Amino acid sequence: MLDQAAIDALRRTQIPVQSLLIDGVWRPAAQGGTCAVTSPIDGSPLTTIAEGTAEDVNAAVAAAKRAFEDGRWSRMAPATRKRIMHRLADLIEKHALELAVLGVRDNGTEISMAINAESGSAAATFRYYAEAIDKVSGEIAPTPAGTLALLHREPVGVVGVIVPWNFPLMIGSWKIAPALAAGNSVVLKPAESASLSLLKLAAMAQEAGLPDGVLNVVTGHGSVVGEAIGLHMDVDVLAFTGSGGTGRRLLEYASRSNMKRCYLELGGKSPNVVFADAPDLEVAANVCANGIFRNAGQVCIAGSRLLVERKIHAEFTARVAEIAASMTIGDPLKVSTQIGAVHSPEQLAQNLSFVERAIAEGANRLIGGERVLAETGGTYMSPAVLDNVAPDATVFRTEVFGPVLSVTPFDSAEEAIHLANATEFGLSGAVWTSNISTAHRVTMGIRSGQLHVNTYGGSDITTPMGGMKQSGNGVDKSLHALDKYVDLKTVWMKL
Ligand code: NAD
Domain ranges of the chain: 4-266+472-494, 271-460
The rounded Å distance from CA 150 to ligand 1 centre is: 38
pLDDT at 163 over 90: yes
Q: In the CATH scheme, what is the homologous superfamily, with its name and number, of domain 4-266+472-494?
A: Aldehyde Dehydrogenase; Chain A, domain 1 (3.40.605.10)
Residue 74 gets which letter from DSSP? T
Q: Atom 43 in ligand 1: which residue has the minimum CA distance? A: 300
The rounded Å distance from CA 301 to ligand 1 centre is: 14
Distance, CA of 235 to CA of 238 (rounded, Å): 7
Distance, CA of 240 to CA of 256 (rounded, Å): 17
- The b-or-e profile of 67-83 (16+ CB within 10 A means b, else e) is bbeeebbbebebeebbe
The rounded Å distance from CA 417 to ligand 1 centre is: 28
Query: The pTM is what?
Result: 0.98
The residue length of the chain stands at 495
Q: What share of the chain is helix, strand, coil (3-state, %, to 5)?
A: 40, 20, 35
Residue 50 gets which letter from DSSP? E
Name the residue of 238, 240, 300 whose CB sits within 8 Å of the most ligand 1 atoms, as the mutation to test its pocket: 300
Q: pLDDT, tens digit, for every residue of 84-104?
A: 999 999 999 999 999 999 999
The rounded Å distance from CA 163 to ligand 1 centre is: 6
| Cβ atoms of residues 266 and 247 within 8 Å | yes
Q: Atom 23 in ligand 1: which residue has the minimum CA distance? A: 242
Give the ligand 1 atom nearest the CA of 162.
9
Name the residue of 51, 121, 166, 248 whose CB sits within 8 Å of the most ligand 1 atoms, as the mutation to test its pocket: 166
Give the ligand 1 atom nearest the CA of 347.
25
List helix spans (H) across 232-307: 244-256, 281-293
Give the ligand 1 atom nearest the CA of 190.
9
Catalytic residue list: 265, 300
Q: Does 271-460 carry CATH code 3.40.640.10?
A: no
Query: Which SS3 state, helix, strand or coil, does residue 391 take?
Result: coil
The whole-number average pLDDT for the span 224-236 is 99
Q: Atom 8 in ligand 1: which residue has the minimum CA distance? A: 191
Q: Which residues' Cβ are closer than 6 Å to ligand 1?
A: 162-166, 171, 189, 191-192, 222-223, 226-227, 230, 241-243, 246, 249, 265-268, 300, 399, 401, 427, 465, 467, 471-472
CA nearest neighbour of 91 among 261, 251, 208:
208
The rounded Å distance from CA 399 to ligand 1 centre is: 13
Q: Atom 14 in ligand 1: which residue has the minimum CA distance? A: 222
DSSP per position, 411-464: SSHHHHHHHHT-SSEES--EEE-S-HHHHHHHHHHS--S--EESSSS---TTS-
Q: Name the helix (H) or strand (E) containing 347.
A: helix 345-360
The rounded Å distance from CA 266 to ligand 1 centre is: 7
Q: Atom 20 in ligand 1: which residue has the minimum CA distance? A: 226
The rounded Å distance from CA 400 to ligand 1 centre is: 14
Confidence of residue 391 (pLDDT cuts 50, 70, 90): very high
Q: pLDDT, tens digit, for every residue of 433-454?
A: 999 999 999 999 999 999 999 9
Q: Tell me what pLDDT residue 1 has.
A: 87
Give the ligand 1 atom nearest the CA of 189.
9
Q: pLDDT, tens digit, for every residue of 344-376?
A: 999 999 999 999 999 999 999 999 999 999 999
Give the ligand 1 atom nearest the CA of 230.
20
| Cβ atoms of residues 51 and 34 within 8 Å | yes
Q: pLDDT, tens digit, for every residue of 271-313?
A: 999 999 999 999 999 999 999 999 999 999 999 999 999 999 9
What is the bridge-based pairing of β-strands 185-189 and 158-162?
parallel
Q: Name the helix (H) or strand (E) containing 91.
A: helix 78-94
Give CA 472 to chain center in angstroms: 12
Confidence of residue 395 (pLDDT cuts 50, 70, 90): very high
Q: Tell me what pLDDT residue 28 has.
A: 98
| Cβ atoms of residues 96 and 10 within 8 Å | no
Let me know the angle formed at the C-alpha of 264 by 353 and 425, rounded to the nearest 5 degrees: 50
Q: Tell me what pLDDT residue 137 has.
A: 96
Q: Tell me what pLDDT residue 178 has.
A: 98
First and final C-alpha spacing in the chain: 63
The whole-number average pLDDT for the span 157-163 is 99
Q: What is the mean pLDDT of the chain?
A: 98
